Structure formats: structure tokens, C-alpha cells
Structure 1
């Protein structure tokens, strides 16, 4: 038994001497195997500690500071690299390594990296550039080399991008430096989507615009400001080419939003009887009267010979748009019923429709209140409202579909003279002051038309005190000046 114990002690002694035996010398410092193992363990601990510290700061302190996700990721990465470098320097100096003696080794290593590891070095420098300049950040929705996705992580060598299909792609950092990168989230996440639509020839272009705009405003992810627009792109071979332009602030959801818009567009066009045509070619035959006898001789024989002439098929009539019922008037028709806009051109009416928006008001909800500034006027598309005066506690009127209210307060800049409340769930078309201001600035002749129509209500304006004073000026000039002051035209 004593012999076994002594043998084990001898083996451990030999192992200890083997691990303690110097293997090489750097800068007058001898390094044994045990010292190297200790250094490796300590270096591993430094890497682990720096990573733990950066994650703790990212998930705790930086969140409480209120930094966004991209800034937190960049700050945590820089802190991790800084702690790692400082930790390695401290460990090497504590171990007695003379860093100045590693200068020659570092130079040789740099030459090796320059020639043999060019890609790695390029990605390393590119990673530092991305972290410092931050052209892209974690959480950004980007496009590079036809790769579309969200940035999930930025490291020294590569960047992880999650595509819209949920696939994680590892992209070398050098691609973000050398190639053009589209960052949909940079500074302002708002972007504009283009939805092309082909419409059959003969369709009412203003009715098409109204249908496209209504489809756009039904999607809650489409922004009201900037408002949706409709462009008439031109005359195609088989269709009138329109384009719906909408703004969104969720670029990562652009494809689902496009899909929802196409569904809504198809539904709105169908409700109005507007066709999306198939590609087609029209064949026109000249001198058909001269060709017909030849066709009859070659293609048909008397019934006595046992063959009959093929029947002549009638040509199909071109399809026409289904007319809108009188109880389902378009916004154009409703706007023309308002005396101030009945002489508007098609372009002016289109802009009014583009600037306005639909809003649902539940039953028994106050739309506008007596004494408040007139910031909008309303057209009732569905439902009904009640107009009454709180001040004198008197019922005034009930308005139904197709009727409007609030235009006088908006045009003259006077407080509301009554309160309006919905009697049932109602959909109102709303045109706000800023939108009407933009229209009048672009079409100043419209302001003169409105002034002429307001003159027809001269007695009402006198009772409101709007035309008092300035006796040397005519009422029309006073109204024009008031419109110019209110709308900056």
C-alpha cells in the first residue's frame, strides 16, 4: 500500500515538474505549460465577463436611460470590445508579458492578415465602421443586393438579417460598405407605396380616383398625413393606367399592406361597376363587303352537296360600367350639390376628394359643439345627425345622407352657431381647414367662386356681423379679403 502511494506521488511530482518546465521565453519571461493554461483560462474569463457586463448594461441601464434598440446594441457592442481589450492588456501585463516585445510579432501578424486574411480584415474594419457611423442599426428594415429584411444583430465580422419569410441570413459587413444599401427605417420610417391599377377604357376617371382613395383610407396602416394620392399615368394598350400612392410608417409591413389594398381596390371597383380589363387586341377588316363572297365560296357550299354554311356569330357588345344608383351618389355628386363647389373643375373636385377623409361617428356622439372654432365641414355619407342649440335649448334640424353642415363656420372663420350630434352610427366625409387651404392656394380662382356664392347669403353674414365696418368697400371685396386672410391666399 505504501508502495502504491509513493508511486502516485512520484507520478504527480513528474507531472508537476513537466508542467513547470519552461517551454519558451519572450522578453526575458519564461513560459511553462501551467502558465499557458492559466493564461488561457483567465483570457476566457475576461471574454465571458465582458460579454456578461455588456448584456447587463444593454438589458438594464441602457433601457432605463431610454435609448432605442439600435443605439443600445451599438453601445453594448463597443463596451464589450473595450472591456475585452482592457482585460487582455491587464492579464498580459500581470503575467509579466512585455507588450513592447510583441511589436515585431504584431507587425508580422499584420502583414499576414493583410495578405492572407484580406476578407476577414475588410469585414472587421467594415464592422467597426457600421458600429461607429451607424448607417444601419439593429431593428432597421433594410435592402441590400435584393435582400430585404430586418437587422437582428451587428457583430465585428458579419450582420444578421431576418427576411420577411423568417429566414436568418448572415451577411458579411463589407457588403454594407461597398454596395448601395436602402435603409427604410433611417431617420424617418415613413415611405410611400405605389399601387398600379389598370382600368377599362370608357371608365369615369374621377369615379376611379374616388374608389382608389376610399380603398386606401379603409386600411388603418395607411397614413392620413401625407394623404393618399391618385396619379393618372397614361393610356396603355388595353387600359387606362392609374397609380395609387399611399404613405406608411411600417416599412416591414409593406407587402401585407399592398395585399390588403389590392383586396380593397377590387371590392371598391366592383361596387362601382368599374372593370379591370384583360389585355386585348381589336382587329378591323376593311372592305368586308368584297371579302364576304369569297369567304362564302371557299368556306361554305349549298346544302344539297351535304354541307352547310357555318352560322354567323354576332359580335359581342362592349361591356359598360354599371351605373351608380341615385341613392348611392358619388362624392363628386355630393360635392357638386354644395353651392360653393358646384362650379369646380374635375381637377379641383379630385383634390377635394384626395384631401378629405371618411370618419365613423357612433350614435349619440357630438361631432362639433356650439361656440367652438370651425376647423372642418362635413358631408353625411351614411346615417343622420341632429342640429340643436344648447344655449337656447332648441332643436333646429335633422340632416340625413347626402346633406352637409359646418361649411359657413369653416369658410368665414367664425365659431359654430349650433351643436351637431349623431342620431345613429354615421359615416361623415371630413374636409379640414388645412386641406381646404392647400386647395385654395393651388386654385385661387376657386376662392372667387366661393366669395360669389357667399354673397348670396349676404343677409346672414350681416346678421353675424361679418360685413360690418369698412363702408368704403363692397361686400364682395370684404368677403374676398376675409378669405385671403383666413386661408393665406
Structure 2
């Protein structure tokens, strides 16, 4: 019905116009004037229809969702009212023609009593409200102006949100809340002005509101509760438009918060309308509140006897392969319990897109299965061990002779069913995994971590992360501060010496790519000192001592490195401070390297009153990694 009203195919007003003008009077009228008026009114009617439709199309982007049926009906009534008024003006124009005097007299005699009757009906008091008298005219005025206020309020709210609040850089939730409050305040203020204009004293409504409030409070208790809850949500903003929330097991993104209800859009693109009072009466999980970062728990079970450090490495490797998993905070692994048939682990990862947690969990499950299979770690199934007490009875039961089976046609012999081991071996085995290339083995190749326990290495593996470098990309340059060390997981790098070269020199720098003649000195890479490949490590001296890098390192090909930064090592040394003592002793044995870095000098070593190299290294480690004093460290005898 609304669609028909919005786009009428034909207009009944010309027929009504001709019916109002009696055919016998047409010769007496000015035919030319009648045609001009009819054409003008017809053209005006078409212009109203087209103009209203275009104006409606222009207003469509201002509406976030489909306009309500009440707005559609109001728009249709407004369009029909304008067209009816235009045709009434056309009739009045015809009646004002000199040739229509007989028609005027007939109309006056016929319709004057009707008009007087309608006029008296419109101004007849229906009831009084305080000192104001309510008539049909005042009621009609109140309804029309209220509908106009609703339309204007919605337009103002959308205009403020899109033209003002968006430019201020506010997030979507605050935009909706501020625009909604402004729209409701404008509507309330407009209604107050309209009531005052038609003569209704607001003070007279207080008694009526008090009387009706008691009865309506019980009848519309739920509606009032939703109304108050909606105002609370808009003002306090425990949830905002755009937040990903969970209420009563329902997960979805908040699309709209109105006075009565809130619209949630689920991951299946379904819109669910939830009454506002449920958000205040039930426990609501807001995944986007304050900080959108949230943690996913992924339980995994592995077979008894599995290498727990290798399991940790596999789970962390799976987590680091998903780009949606955050590097900081880093993924971690918990050993939850010894289950009935498995070691039960839990992989914990952080994400900043809560609404994608289900797809991320699915992706992690695929990656975990891939990493565990690659490393030969078994995912067990529930098992039960049965013990037979009376074995003799069981043996007699199986040794009883069976009665001969009835003769049947001879069937072709079937191949024997292979044992489970044979069936399993018939499948393609997973890729061979080099046990000597695990992070635990690679870390133990570093002299400072050679004697670390599995628990200590697990902390490093859990706190470290992988980083990818493209061919030719510089990992770090000489003389830069260094707080990381690297283990090559794949690819290779080259270590380059670096120095200064002046354009005034005759010789050309070996590896300089571009030279600015105006420069006084140019930093150049002189020669390749070493090439490191998979399993090698570098950068540990700068991490442990705080000294600047002594050379430049560049990727020869696409390379993946395992990175241990200062925060990871600090966490390890704070948990296992005896490891700091072993590192200090190992560093003290490399006095030649420390002298080259300027951390030791010959005069300090020859001065017996000064601290020994081991004591100075201890003090440096304590300062770099914020280690507490302990016996044997500086400050203790």
C-alpha cells in the first residue's frame, strides 16, 4: 500500500476537478482560462510527485537503516496532501472566473451549510486540559507538527553524526550516542514548544501525569524499564555501537541502540533485537570495551611421553604463522594437567579482532595439527586398559571346539586383513623433521645457554618470536645499539665490516651503491667477514653487554630468524638468576672480545684495587636486566 502511495501511476484529481465543474456550464466559462488552469494544475501535480520522489532519494543516505513504516506513511500522506491542496487551488481558480458566477451561487447555497457544520465541528471543545480547550483542530495540528518534528529530529541526528562528529575523529559508538541524545533532546524540546503554542499549560499536565503514572506504570512496566535502560546505555555507554558483545550466549556486533531495544548483528549476518533491560539485568561480556585485545584459549592434548619442550615449540610456531595473532603480548603455552589419556596443554594467543575469534581458532587448529604432525608428535585418542583377573576361564572359553558350520557354496578367498600397524604404514608419512634443528638444540649451540635446563630454554622459546627478512635487507648496521640476538631458522646472512670513506680519496669503496660528492664521509660496507646459514646465531654480545653492533648483517636470501630480545632474556634471568652467573663467567672468559668492544682495558686489569673483570660483567648484567642483588654479585661479600 505504501509503495503504491509513493509512486502513483495515475491521478484521480483531474476527474474530481471536472466533476466539480458541471459540463453544462463549460460553454459559459472561459474555455481558454479553464484549459490554462487545468494545464497548470496538472503540471504542478507532476512536479510535486517528481520533486518529492527526488527529495526522498536525496534523504535516503541520511537514514542508516530502512525508514520505519510510520515514516513511509507520513511521507505518503504529506505528498497526497500537497497534491490535494494544489487541485483545490485549481478549483478555487475556476470558481473565481467571471463566467462561473452561476456555479458560485449554486455552490454557496449547497455547501455553505456543510462548511458551517464542519467549521463548528472542528472548533467544538472536546475536553479541557487545565486552562486549555482541546479541539479537533488543535489535535490535528499537534499530530502534524509531531510527525514533522520526528522527521526533522532524525535528519538533524544523521547530519550531526555524518557532518560534525565524523570530522572530530570520534569513534562510531560515541557518534551514535551523542547524535542520539541530541535527537531525543530536540524532539522533547519541540514537543514542549508545540504544546505551549496550542495553549496547553505544562503545569496542568503534572496532576494528569501523576494520576496516569500509577496506572500506566503497571500496564507498561516493561516498556518503561526498556526506556530507562536505553537512556542508561546511551549516557553511561557500557556498550556502544560497533562493540562486539555476548549476552545470554548470543554473540554479535552492536548495530543500533534505541530507547526501547538494541540491534545485534551476529557473525551469520542475522539481526537480533534485544530489549534494553537485558543488558542491565544480565551478565554482558563486552569484548571491545576500552581495549579490543582479547585472549583465545586453545586446548590441545598430546600423547604421554611426548617432549614437552618440543610441544611448546610446535604450538608457538603454529601461533606465529597466523597474521591475526598479535606478537605483543606474545603467545604462550600452559601445561594444564595430566589427563586420562594425554598431556593437556593450552595455547594462549592475543587478538585485536574479537569478532573473528572463531575463524582464528579454526585456523590455529589446522596449524597446530600441521606442526605436531611435522614433528612426529601424536595426538592421542581416549584409551582404557583392561585387566582380566581369571585368565584360566578366558583361555578355556577360547579353546572350546566350535560346532561345524553348515555347508555353503565355496566363496573366493579374501586377502587377510592387515594388522593396524600395516594399515598405518600404508599411509604417507609426515615430512621428516630434523631433531637437531629444534629451537632447543639451536639455543644450546650458543655457549651462554649450553648448560640451560629444558625449563629455562622453554622460557626463551616462549618469549622469542620469528621475523622475516627479504633478500638484501639489512638486519642491523655497525655501531647501532643492539638489544636482540638471532638464530637463523632458514636462509642465510652475511656479516660485513663497515667504515668511513671520503669522496676525496682516489680509490672507490668496494660496496658503495650511490655516492654524494658533497658528503664529507660516507658509510660503506668494506668486505664480507662471514656467511652464516641455517642453525647459526649472531648478535648475542650486544644483547648481553649493551655494546653497539660491531658489524653490519644483511640477508643474502629470504631469511627467517628467531629473535630473542632483551625483555625475553630479562624475564629468563629474573626467574633463573643462577643462569646470570653462568653467563657472566662465560663472558669473562672472552676478555679479548670485550677489549675490542671497549668494555675492558689493560689498565683496569692491571690495577689490583679495581674490580675484577667478572665483577664488572656481573654489575653490567645487573644494570642491563634489572637483576636484584644476590650473594656473589656486587654489594655482597
TM above 0.5: yes
| TM-score in terms of structure 2 length | 0.72
Partner residue of 1:178 out of 269, 277, 281: 281
The answer to whether 1:396 aligns with 2:529 is yes
Where does residue 255 of structure 2 map in the other structure? 152
1:234–1:241 CA contact under 8 A, matched in 2 = yes
Distance in 1 (CA, whole Å) between partners of 2:420 and 2:157 is 77
Q: How does 1:127-206 map to 2 (within 5 A)?
A: 127-206=230-309
Q: Which runs of 5 or more structure 1 residues have no equivalent in the other structure?
A: 303-310
1:328 deviates by 6.2
What is the root-mean-square deviation in Å for CA atoms of aligned residues? 2.5
Where does residue 344 of structure 2 map in the other structure? 241
Where does residue 367 of structure 1 map in the other structure? 475
Q: How does 1:86-105 map to 2 (within 5 A)?
A: 86-105=189-208
1:12 deviates by 3.1
Where does residue 415 of structure 1 map in the other structure? 548
Where does residue 30 of structure 1 map in the other structure? 133
Partner residue of 2:314 out of 208, 211, 217: 211
Partner residue of 2:614 out of 463, 476, 483: 476
Distance in 1 (CA, whole Å) between partners of 2:187 and 2:193 is 10
| TM-score in terms of structure 1 length | 0.92
Partner residue of 2:179 out of 37, 52, 76: 76
Which region of structure 1 is more displaced relative to structure 2, 16-25 or 363-372?
A: 16-25
1:344 deviates by 0.7
SS in structure 1 of the partner of residue 437 of structure 2: coil
Structure 1 residues 326 and 98: alpha-carbon distance in aligned structure 2, compared to 1, 3 A threshold: closer
SS in structure 1 of the partner of residue 191 of structure 2: helix
SS in structure 1 of the partner of residue 167 of structure 2: helix
Aligned residues: 481
SS in structure 1 of the partner of residue 341 of structure 2: coil
Partner residue of 1:428 out of 561, 577, 580: 561
Q: How does 1:249-398 map to 2 (within 5 A)?
A: 249-285=352-388, 290=392, 294-295=396-397, 297-298=399-400, 325-326=433-434, 329-391=437-499, 393-398=526-531
Distance in 1 (CA, whole Å) between partners of 2:395 and 2:182 is 92
2:373–2:430 CA contact under 8 A, matched in 1 = no
Distance in 2 (CA, whole Å) between partners of 1:41 and 1:142 is 39
1:291 deviates by 5.5
1:467 deviates by 2.1
Higher CA-based Rg:
2
Partner residue of 1:467 out of 600, 625, 628: 600
SS in structure 1 of the partner of residue 234 of structure 2: helix
Q: How does 1:36-75 map to 2 (within 5 A)?
A: 36-75=139-178
Distance in 1 (CA, whole Å) between partners of 2:433 and 2:172 is 54
1:390 deviates by 2.0
Where does residue 8 of structure 2 map in the other structure? none
1:232 deviates by 0.8
Where does residue 444 of structure 1 map in the other structure? 577
Structure 1 residues 301 and 328: alpha-carbon distance in aligned structure 2, compared to 1, 3 A threshold: farther
Where does residue 487 of structure 1 map in the other structure? 625
Distance in 2 (CA, whole Å) between partners of 1:442 and 1:253 is 35
Distance in 2 (CA, whole Å) between partners of 1:325 and 1:116 is 72
Structure 1 residues 94 and 479: alpha-carbon distance in aligned structure 2, compared to 1, 3 A threshold: same
SS in structure 2 of the partner of residue 225 of structure 1: coil
Structure 1 residues 324 and 480: alpha-carbon distance in aligned structure 2, compared to 1, 3 A threshold: farther
Q: Which runs of 5 or more structure 2 residues have no equivalent in the other structure?
A: 1-101, 405-415, 500-524, 628-637
